[in-house]
Amino acid sequence: MLWEPDDPYDALAGRFGFDDGPAAGRWVADMVEKHWDLRPDSCERIVMSGGNALAWVGTPSGRLLAKWSVVPERFARLAEVARLTSWLGGQGLPVSAPLPTRDGRLQVETGGVSMGLQRVIGGDLLDTGDPGQVRAAGTLLARLQDALAAYPYADRLSGPAVGSRPLTEQITGWLDARAGHLPAAAREGLRGMVAAAPPDRLPRQLVHFDFRAANILCAGGEIVAVLDFEEARHEPSLFELARAAVLLGTRYHDWGPVPAEVRAQFLAGYRAVRPLTPAEASWLELLVLWQAMEMVPPGDDPTGWAASALSLLRRP
Residue environment code for 131-158, b if the CB has 16+ CB neighbours within 10 A, otherwise e: bebbbbbbbbbbbbbebbeebeebeebe
SS3 call for 224:
strand
Is the distance from CB of 141 to CB of 245 less than 8 angstroms? no
Could you give the domains of the chain?
A: 8-120 (3.30.200.20), 125-310 (3.90.1200.10)
- Segment-wise mean pLDDT, segments of 10 residues, the chain, 316 residues: 90 96 96 96 95 96 96 96 98 98 97 97 97 98 98 85 76 96 94 94 95 97 95 96 98 92 98 97 97 96 96 78
Q: How far apart are CA 51 and CA 274, in angstroms?
A: 37
Q: Pick the closest to residue 131 from 245, 264, 9 (CA basis).
A: 264
Instruction: Collect contacts of 222-225 with beta carbons under 8 A, ≥24 apart.
Output: 222/136, 223/94, 223/126, 223/133, 223/136, 223/137, 223/140, 224/94, 224/121, 224/122, 224/123, 225/94, 225/95, 225/96, 225/121, 225/123
Residue pair 25/19 in contact by the 8 Å Cβ criterion: no
| Residues 6 or more apart whose Cβ sits within 8 Å of residue 307 | none
User: CA-to-CA distance for 34 and 102, rounded, in angstroms?
Assistant: 9
- The number of helix segments (H) and strand segments (E) in the chain equals 10, 10
pLDDT at 161: 47
Which pTM does this prediction carry? 0.94
With a CB cutoff of 8 Å and minimum separation 6, the contacts of 15 are 48, 51, 53, 70
Cα 193 to Cα 181: distance, rounded to the nearest angstrom: 19
Cα 180 from Cα 94, distance rounded (Å): 41
CA–CA distance, 10 with 63 (Å, rounded to integer): 27
| Sequence-ordered list of residues with C-beta below 8 angstroms from that of 286, at least 6 positions apart, any chain | 171, 190, 193, 194, 197
Q: What pLDDT does residue 314 have?
A: 74
274 touches 227 (CB < 8 A): no
pLDDT of residue 315: 62
pLDDT for the residue numbered 304: 96
Q: Name the 3-class secondary structure at 257.
A: coil
For 109, phi and psi rounded to 5 degrees?
A: -115, 120
Q: Which residues contact 240 (CB under 8 A, 6 or more apart)?
A: 141, 145, 207, 208, 209, 211
Write down the pLDDT at residue 85. Answer: 98
